[in-house]
Structure 1
Amino acid sequence: MGLAVIDKSLFRFDGVRQRMGLLALLSLLQALCIVGQAHGLARGLVEIWKLHAVSTLVGPAIEFLAFYALRHFCDVAKQRISSKYGKYVAGQIRPQLQEKIFRLGPQALASRGTGSTVTMLIDGLDQVKSYIEILLPKMTDMMIISLVILVGVWWQDWVSGLILLLMYPLIIFFMVILGLAARDRSNKQYAQFNILNTKFVDSILGLPTLKMLGVDKEYEGEIYSVSERFRKRTIDVLKVAMTSTFALDWFTTLGIAIMAVFLGLRLVNGTMPLFPAMFALIMAPDYFLPVRQFGDNYHATLDGKNALHDIMSFIDSPETPQDTETKWEGWKADSELKLEGIDFAYPVGSKPAGDDTQSVASHSVAMNAVEQQRENEDDKKSDDSSESKDDSKTDSKSRRHRGRGKKDAKPIEADADGKAVAAQALTQPDALHHVSMDFKGYGKIAVIGKSGAGKSTLVNLLAGFNTPHAGSIELDGNRLENFNVAAWQRHISYIPQTPYIFSGSIADNIRFYVSDASNDDVNAAAHEAGLDEWLGELTDGLDTLIGEGNRGISGGQAQRIALARVLLDKSREVLLFDEPTAHLDIETEYDLKKTLLPIMENHLVILATHRLHWLANVDQVLVLDEGQVVESGTPKELIGAGGPLDHLIGEMGGNQIDQYLN
């Protein structure tokens, strides 16, 4: 059972074998100390029983105390070694995990669910750390200490040694049976915990939409139902844990009692000296102690193993390899980007470990509510299929296009990983279908459409997070398979709806792209981003610490920090905005817009938005509907022409923008 809780990925980390070797050496020394401690205590008890002088106890007492101190020194040393190594491994995993999420982009959150990803990043790493702290020393103790004690007892009295030897497999047998049950329940509990986190976080994120649709009360019941299932699974795990502890204690007590009976009978019959009997009886509890301690911590190690397996599976998940060969000097006034016949579909969400999790992947509570509301209004049959969370879900109309062809589009040639992604994508409806567009020089392009039209999908594709499975891409004469190209990404700035804010100072967050920027440059970028008023209210200014995930700051302040990052790195000429003001109130949005417009000059700006007031400030409009470009042109050409943009304006109550025609 001990080997069953060792995840093979643990051996991928540097120094694990050296640490295990050092822990094994300390366990061996500790086992010898236990034997020496028992030897001194048995000698002292025999001297007392024989009513010898007190002076005869000095030697046994020194022997006992010396080995007792050394034993606990070894125990402390093992704890420190395993604790430091646990922190080291967690420190190694964290940047790998963050880099993986950064490379995958919004697709990582869409496929796993926000709550599940947060659980993996926060609780998962803590569980991995605890897993290593517990597993390594307990494993070496169980393998070495019990064996050394058995040899010591057998050396003094083979009958007692035989009893201990026969009881050990019985305890292991019941540990295996209960361990299998615990593993099954622990896997289910971990999966249910991910479901609960995903449901809860997605419900919080979608709460405004839920309240607007009047279905927020229904999701109270959904959260309650999921939390109840998690509670029941937790109770099941606790039942097995208590049963396991009881079984271990009971069989340990039984083994010691049987040995004590045999020792007592032989002492009464005068067939055995007192010292070996006392020595064996003192050693018996320590013989069973390592396996009992391992059993007591078995459930914690299972949680850590599940977390480690989940994290390493995510890190090892396939991704489109980055193109580092293409040479490109950046976007200039005469640059041109052509996209022709681009098709993209989200891959089918894979089922995580455990049960009841298949329906969680790639679902957003708020967007599910929108779809359900529309389906109820249209009196259509419910369909749970959806696209990714970040504005990539299809509305009810898009279901009519799920069978639309991919055969007529020319597939993009890719390597093995790219083909695997394309093969997966063919099983899903198109989020983008036959998208063609041509960008030339500097300018501001607004990508307009309803929720679910594919705006965020297109921006994420341009950022390199989504890989098209059909179509062609040409950048200044360079043929690209996708936008996961080092030269392209070096010259773009991507600002999502919720910018990434990490735990640190405001200045550190602004230096996100340029870590070695001077204080003067950071101050200048903060000034241009409109942060002066806010920073003036802070005692420490740019050195003020802010929390992970925007804790301690507003959405508008987070967006301005993201803008300061763009301003700090002057080498990025392409700006990609995905609904940069979607979650802000009107006043904050208006102030932020005044900051944004000067930044957009002399850049290629692609702005995905459903806020119609941006139409007055852009050079070109692309109207998306059901993943297709249904109209394109300048605002003056499209507004009032009676096309899809006018229809969208009417649906969204934007008829007041007639001034844009002037």
Structure 2
Amino acid sequence: MIDKSLFRFDGVRQRMGLLALLSLAQALCIVGQAHGLARGLVEIWKQHAVSALVSPAIEFLAFYALRHLCDVAKQRISSKYGKYVAGEIRPQLQEKIFRLGPQALASRGTGSTVTMLIDGLDQVKSYIEILLPKMTDMMLISLVILIAVWWQDWVSGLILLLMYPLIIFFMVILGLAARDRSNKQYAQFNILNTKFVDSILGLPTLKMLGVDKEYEGEIYSVSERFRKRTIDVLKVAMTSTFALDWFTTLGIAIMAVFLGLRLVNGTMPLFPAMFALIMAPDYFLPVRQFGDNYHATLDGKNALHDIMSFIDSSETPQDTETQWDGWKADSELKLEDVDFAYPAGSKLQGDDDVQSVASHNVAMNAVEQQREGEDGKKPDGSGDSKSKRRRGRGEKVAAQDQQSSVESASAPSNASVGSDEKDVEPKKAGAGTIVEQAETQPDALHHVSMSFKGYGKIAVIGKSGAGKSTLVNLLAGFNIPHAGSIELDGHRLDNFNVRVWQRHISYIPQTPYIFSGSIADNIRFYVNDANDEDVKAAAHEAGLDEWLAELADGLDTLIGEGNRGISGGQAQRIALARVLLDKSREVLLFDEPTAHLDIETEYDLKKTLLPIMENHLVILATHRLHWLANVDQVLVLDEGQVVESGTPKELIGAGGPLDRLISEMGGNQIDQYLN
């Protein structure tokens, strides 16, 4: 029942030892309490004076109070340790997600990751609070009571001893069934979360294509499977509770019959009979409580196993050997023929390549199937050469067997990228490293070559799904290239997961991470020891003064995790204040910083951003063409390839890919370049 990973945390054995001592003390108090109560009942039966009840009453009340004090102490110890373990796990989990980057969300799904971070940690805390004291109670209290009852009456002790294995047997059988159903329910819950979040992220695309109603069916189907899994767990839980109560009642009833017959025959004194009968419910109580709480702890055990497996999952080792002094006016970065592909079955969540692509391509599949049905074609599109041509490199195709993919706990996603199912051969990375590529998807970035020198603002432009966010995540060190070469100021790198590089970059995604705490604490994200004056100055430069003036506590105002209580524009300004507070980060990576803002907020934020971008290397992934008026270089991506690069004046009006993109997206935003 105890997950082995729990023993990785400091102090667990000491806590269990302390809980065992308290359980032993509590067991002795239960015996003393029953002894006092039995004495009192015997005195009443014998019709002795009321004064004869004083001593038994004091004995009963004293042991009763001590018993519950022990129980309170156990609850406090286990609760405090549960908080400690959750506190130990949280930074490890956040650091792991930070190191893996968006690809961690890609492989798990956003919904599953959020569940692990929020509900999972709470379940682990509850698991420890319940499990540790119940385990020590079941091991010690019942044993002490059995010895005490046997000492008074061996027949009653024998009945209790024979009933105990029977209860344990049925508890184990039902526990195994409960564990199996609980594991399936937990996996289905993660799948439901992922499906739901995918649907929310892709809802605009689904509605635009007119297939949002059709997609409701999949959400309903996944929800129904989760409901049935939950009902199965509840059935086993209720059966288990009934079985434990029934056998407990049966054991007490059998013992009571034997005691009654011996009392009637005059072969047994009243005191041992009363003592044994009073002790019997407490003898079975620990195992009953453990059985009742077993189902509540299963979710916590599953969550702990899931979290520790994620923390222990493999990752690309960080390069800590390379020495570099940071980006300067004469620094140069070169990428040549860089390729990157997501693992097979992964989802590109958190990426602009997915927020539209994940559900966009599911929707496109649905539209194609509708059209094929109208044209009298087979549902699988066989014989339709047009539909096959539409499945180009980088396009996401929904899996045909959604049922099997949803039922698979190891693969919560039911979508795969690309139409070809051939294995990709292992490729040689920049420094000769071999990266395993079995069953990968088609390249998300293909033969990408580019160079940056000195300070400047570079815009990465392209349609949704072109690879903009994938490229930014690669530059941040989250995505590891499978081929190509990287050179930074003469240093040959395998990838950008390099400590000194990441120490000098600021990465601002579409939705910055806001944790629970004050605004000032959030601004100190990179510089924990920054003084109040520096934080205030950074907030001023980031344009937060007007908002802070409306808050009674100013920078000390508490805000919530996941941007609760603040707008998207305010979250972006907090992220900018972080950049301004840490002057040592000369490279700024922006992934659609204004994608989810309204026009007025975007305009105000842009005015704040432009001065910050000076004297930095800025790489800005965006599909907002108005940024072209303010950048020095443009990279146009299409299907993971750089199809055009140069200054805005060189490219606009040249009739190339950028002009076609401008035509499709509304070129009147930048008419000044056409003059």
* Both structures adopt the same fold (TM-score exceeding 0.5): yes
Any conservation in 2 of the 1:350–1:361 contact (CA below 8 Å)? no
* Aligned-partner SS, 2:272: helix
CA distance in 2, matches of 1:260, 1:131: 36
* Aligned-partner SS, 1:514: coil
Any conservation in 2 of the 1:40–1:63 contact (CA below 8 Å)? yes
Root-mean-square deviation (Å): 4.8
Any conservation in 2 of the 1:113–1:363 contact (CA below 8 Å)? no
Task: Report the CA distance between 1:616 and its aligned residue.
Answer: 1.7
Which segment is superposed worse, 309-318 or 219-228?
Answer: 219-228
- Indicate the percent of aligned positions where both proteins have the same amino acid: 92
Which segment is superposed worse, 138-147 or 614-623?
Answer: 614-623
- For these two proteins, the number of residue pairs brought into alignment is 647
Any conservation in 2 of the 1:349–1:361 contact (CA below 8 Å)? no
CA 1:441/1:22 → structure 2, altered by over 3 Å: closer, same or farther?
Answer: same
CA 1:589/1:192 → structure 2, altered by over 3 Å: closer, same or farther?
Answer: same
* Aligned-partner SS, 1:196: helix
Any conservation in 2 of the 1:318–1:417 contact (CA below 8 Å)? no
Counterpart mapping for 1:484-499 below 5 A: 484-499=497-512
* Aligned-partner SS, 1:425: coil
CA distance in 1, matches of 2:494, 2:13: 42
Task: Report the CA distance between 1:398 and its aligned residue.
Answer: 13
Structure 1 residue aligned with 2:423: 411
What does the per-residue CA deviation read over 1:203-253, in whole Å, with 9 as the maximum and x for residues that have no partner?
Answer: 223333333333333333333332232222222211211111111100000
Counterpart mapping for 1:83-94 below 5 A: 83-94=79-90
Any conservation in 2 of the 1:394–1:453 contact (CA below 8 Å)? no
What does the per-residue CA deviation read over 1:514-563, in whole Å, with 9 as the maximum and x for residues that have no partner?
Answer: 12222222222222222222222222222222211111111111111111
Task: Report the CA distance between 1:378 and its aligned residue.
Answer: 12
CA 1:352/1:524 → structure 2, altered by over 3 Å: closer, same or farther?
Answer: closer
CA 1:316/1:476 → structure 2, altered by over 3 Å: closer, same or farther?
Answer: same
Task: Report the CA distance between 1:428 and its aligned residue.
Answer: 2.1
CA distance in 2, matches of 1:62, 1:181: 46
CA 1:357/1:80 → structure 2, altered by over 3 Å: closer, same or farther?
Answer: farther
CA distance in 1, matches of 2:19, 2:473: 48
Which segment is superposed worse, 212-221 or 554-563?
Answer: 212-221
Structure 2 residue aligned with 1:274: 270
Give the gaps of 5 or more residues in structure 1: 382-390
Task: Report the CA distance between 1:202 and its aligned residue.
Answer: 2.8
Any conservation in 1 of the 2:509–2:591 contact (CA below 8 Å)? yes
CA distance in 1, matches of 2:272, 2:203: 72
CA 1:295/1:319 → structure 2, altered by over 3 Å: closer, same or farther?
Answer: same
Task: Report the CA distance between 1:201 and its aligned residue.
Answer: 2.6
Task: Report the CA distance between 1:254 and its aligned residue.
Answer: 0.3
What does the per-residue CA deviation read over 1:364-411, in whole Å, with 9 as the maximum and x for residues that have no partner?
Answer: 978988998999999999xxxxxxxxx999999999799999999999
Task: Report the CA distance between 1:423 and its aligned residue.
Answer: 1.4
Task: Report the CA distance between 1:425 and its aligned residue.
Answer: 6.3
What does the per-residue CA deviation read over 1:85-118, in whole Å, with 9 as the maximum and x for residues that have no partner?
Answer: 1111111111111111111121122221111111
CA distance in 2, matches of 1:601, 1:353: 31
CA 1:447/1:191 → structure 2, altered by over 3 Å: closer, same or farther?
Answer: same
Any conservation in 1 of the 2:424–2:437 contact (CA below 8 Å)? no
Any conservation in 1 of the 2:353–2:465 contact (CA below 8 Å)? no
Any conservation in 1 of the 2:344–2:439 contact (CA below 8 Å)? no
CA distance in 1, matches of 2:510, 2:372: 27
CA 1:499/1:141 → structure 2, altered by over 3 Å: closer, same or farther?
Answer: same
Task: Report the CA distance between 1:30 and its aligned residue.
Answer: 0.8
What does the per-residue CA deviation read over 1:34-55, in whole Å, with 9 as the maximum and x for residues that have no partner?
Answer: 1111122222222222223333
Any conservation in 2 of the 1:112–1:361 contact (CA below 8 Å)? no
CA distance in 1, matches of 2:96, 2:289: 36
Which segment is superposed worse, 254-263 or 646-655?
Answer: 646-655
Any conservation in 2 of the 1:411–1:471 contact (CA below 8 Å)? no
CA distance in 1, matches of 2:619, 2:512: 17
CA distance in 2, matches of 1:10, 1:647: 58
CA 1:33/1:61 → structure 2, altered by over 3 Å: closer, same or farther?
Answer: same
What does the per-residue CA deviation read over 1:127-173, in whole Å, with 9 as the maximum and x for residues that have no partner?
Answer: 11110010000000001111111111111211111111111111111
* Aligned-partner SS, 1:342: strand
Structure 1 residue aligned with 2:387: 398
Any conservation in 1 of the 2:538–2:577 contact (CA below 8 Å)? yes
Which segment is superposed worse, 62-71 or 48-57?
Answer: 48-57
Any conservation in 2 of the 1:425–1:469 contact (CA below 8 Å)? no
Task: Report the CA distance between 1:658 and its aligned residue.
Answer: 3.8
* Aligned-partner SS, 2:446: strand
TM-score of the pair, normalised by structure 1? 0.89
* Aligned-partner SS, 1:206: helix
CA distance in 1, matches of 2:310, 2:421: 31
Task: Report the CA distance between 1:296 and its aligned residue.
Answer: 0.6
CA distance in 2, matches of 1:582, 1:431: 21
Task: Report the CA distance between 1:461 and its aligned residue.
Answer: 0.5
CA 1:162/1:418 → structure 2, altered by over 3 Å: closer, same or farther?
Answer: farther
CA 1:400/1:212 → structure 2, altered by over 3 Å: closer, same or farther?
Answer: closer
CA 1:241/1:417 → structure 2, altered by over 3 Å: closer, same or farther?
Answer: farther
Which segment is superposed worse, 497-506 or 208-217?
Answer: 208-217
Which one of the candidate residues 187, 198, 202 is aligned to 1:202? 198
CA 1:168/1:262 → structure 2, altered by over 3 Å: closer, same or farther?
Answer: same
What does the per-residue CA deviation read over 1:10-53, in whole Å, with 9 as the maximum and x for residues that have no partner?
Answer: 11111100000000011111111111111222222222222233
CA distance in 2, matches of 1:266, 1:311: 57
Say if 2:577 is the partner of 1:564.
yes
CA 1:351/1:106 → structure 2, altered by over 3 Å: closer, same or farther?
Answer: closer
* Aligned-partner SS, 1:363: helix
Which segment is superposed worse, 220-229 or 56-65?
Answer: 220-229
What does the per-residue CA deviation read over 1:302-334, in whole Å, with 9 as the maximum and x for residues that have no partner?
Answer: 011011111111111111121111110011111
CA 1:358/1:488 → structure 2, altered by over 3 Å: closer, same or farther?
Answer: closer
Say if 2:519 is the partner of 1:506.
yes
CA 1:644/1:358 → structure 2, altered by over 3 Å: closer, same or farther?
Answer: closer
Any conservation in 2 of the 1:110–1:361 contact (CA below 8 Å)? no
CA 1:309/1:257 → structure 2, altered by over 3 Å: closer, same or farther?
Answer: same
Task: Report the CA distance between 1:257 and its aligned residue.
Answer: 0.6
Task: Report the CA distance between 1:362 and its aligned residue.
Answer: 11
Which segment is superposed worse, 303-312 or 110-119?
Answer: 110-119
What does the per-residue CA deviation read over 1:248-271, in whole Å, with 9 as the maximum and x for residues that have no partner?
Answer: 100000011111111111222222
CA 1:142/1:409 → structure 2, altered by over 3 Å: closer, same or farther?
Answer: closer
Which one of the candidate residues 470, 476, 482 is aligned to 1:463? 476
CA 1:376/1:497 → structure 2, altered by over 3 Å: closer, same or farther?
Answer: farther
